[in-house]
Amino acid sequence: MKKQIIYIVALILMASVFTACGSKSAGNLGKTSGEEHIEGEAGYEGGEGMAELHLSELKFESLGIKLDTLPTRPLSGIVEANGQLEVPPQHEATVTAILGANVTSIKVIEGDQVNKGQVLAYLSHPNLSKLQTNYVRAYSQLQFLEKENQRQKRLYEEEVGSGKTYQQIQANYQAMKGEVKGYEAQLRQLSLNVEKVQTGDIYQYVPVVSPIDGYIEKVEVQLGQYVEPQTKMFMIVNTDHIHADLMVFEKDVYKVKKGQTISFTVESVPGSTLTAEIYSVGKQFEQNPKAVHVHAEIKNKEDFLIPGMYINGKIRIGDNNSVKALPESAIIEEEGKPYIFTAEAHEEDGKTEWAFKAIEVRTGITEDGWVEIKLLEPLTVDTQVAWNNAYYLISEMKKSQTSHSH
């Protein structure tokens, strides 16, 4: 009797369990049926995590999603840097006045091309004439002392002349020789022809000449102006030696090396794309922001390049290796992890439906809007992947997950 009672109780408990399970299964079936995606809308299928997003053919086409296999593309990796066009200091010149004088003539204007030694302006002052007449007098005296020195030397050697007289003449000759050389140095600094002055040909004007080939960048004086010695008169720049001066941030400095190629654009010249090669990487940081100067020689210089123009550059930091890559718009980052989307078409009730699945990847070098893709698990060669709209796809997937969690 006791065994029969235990048996009956066991049967009752088993019946209760089966009844509960049946109710739960029925509830789930009803829920699945009620949540099937509506035609023309996005739907979701899967359990925990990011699974699949379903789009109708109409929705797929309206979004303009591009599909293809995962491509291979040559990428070298780039470092982006901004800067401006500059000219090395040895190819810039500031022309100053050698002496205090009045500007009597200006021969150039800003933008003019000039050659080394070309006259830029003329100066005039009474002191100019005085310098030349003093030189002529000293030069004539030197000629006399030279002959007198030779005569006294001969007399001294023949023991006819006084040794004291010879020494005095010799000292006067050497002193005058130094004075004449001093005058000649001043005349040459003024770009005057010393040989002409020796013959009494006195210049009324001092030419101001260019020390380099280049272009007149700035004219700092006016006609009739009195200029003190060392007054700035002209600024000259040789744009044949213009180069790209870029600022590379601390985090990227180790990637940049001499010989690397830079492609850059000039902000004020739309559509301009030029190339340059790095010849110098700075060894000292500028502050705010912390960056170093990188100098690059420009290839095929254009006439519109002017020092001071702002430029945006991309430094190629590696070899062109062929890697799997996708456009930036095909990649989305979630919780610090990058994802791309695979796509597969299904036929349902005679209509095409697209199923998108997010797969985690790793990214590598980036260049011109393309990003290297490193697969964690291999894909078949014919697997279709989305080339764009990753942001929309992840957003719709999140919406579907949120609605199914309630």
pLDDT at 25: 37
Q: What is the pLDDT along the chain (406 residues), one digit of tens a residue?
A: 444 444 444 444 454 444 444 443 333 333 333 333 333 345 544 434 566 888 888 888 888 899 999 999 888 778 889 999 999 889 999 999 988 899 999 999 999 999 999 999 999 988 888 888 889 999 999 998 888 888 888 887 777 767 788 888 889 989 999 999 998 898 888 888 888 888 888 888 889 999 999 999 999 999 999 999 899 999 999 988 899 999 999 988 988 999 999 999 999 998 889 999 999 999 999 888 899 999 999 998 888 999 999 999 999 887 667 889 999 999 999 888 999 999 998 887 778 888 999 999 999 888 778 899 999 999 999 999 999 989 988 888 887 666 555 5
Any residues with CB less than 8 A from the CB of 405 and at least 6 apart, and which?
none
Chain-centroid distance, C-alpha 100: 43
Amino acid at the residue 126: P
The full set of domains in the chain, from first to last, is 39-76+321-404 (2.40.420.20), 91-237 (2.40.50.100)
The H or E element containing residue 34 is helix 2-34
Chain-centroid distance, C-alpha 141: 63
Contact 165, 152 (CB under 8 A): yes
pLDDT at 361: 94
What is the distance in angstroms between the CA of the first residue and the CA of the last residue of the chain?
51
What's the alpha-carbon Rg for the chain, to the nearest Å? 44
Phi, psi angles (nearest 5°) of residue 148: -65, -35
333's tokens: 């980052």
Report the length, in residues, of the chain.
406
Long-range pairs of 270-274 with CB within 8 A, sequence gap ≥ 24: 272/302, 272/304, 274/298, 274/299, 274/300, 274/302
The partner residues of 261 in beta bridges, in order of sequence, read 277
44's tokens: 């979701």
Any residues with CB less than 8 A from the CB of 219 and at least 6 apart, and which?
106, 108, 109, 110, 233, 234
Burial of 293 (0-12, 13-18, 19+ CB in 10 A): middle
Half-sphere exposure of 206 (CA within 13 A, CB side): 26
Contact 273, 280 (CB under 8 A): no
Contact 385, 342 (CB under 8 A): yes
155's tokens: 């007399």
**351-367 and 370-375 strand pairing:** antiparallel
Burial of 265 (0-12, 13-18, 19+ CB in 10 A): middle
Specify the pTM.
Answer: 0.55
pLDDT at 23: 41
At residue 57, the 3 state secondary structure works out as helix
Chain-centroid distance, C-alpha 112: 28
The H or E element containing residue 67 is strand 67-68
Amino acid at the residue 173: Y
Any residues with CB less than 8 A from the CB of 147 and at least 6 apart, and which?
none
C-alpha 169/C-alpha 151 separation (Å) is 10
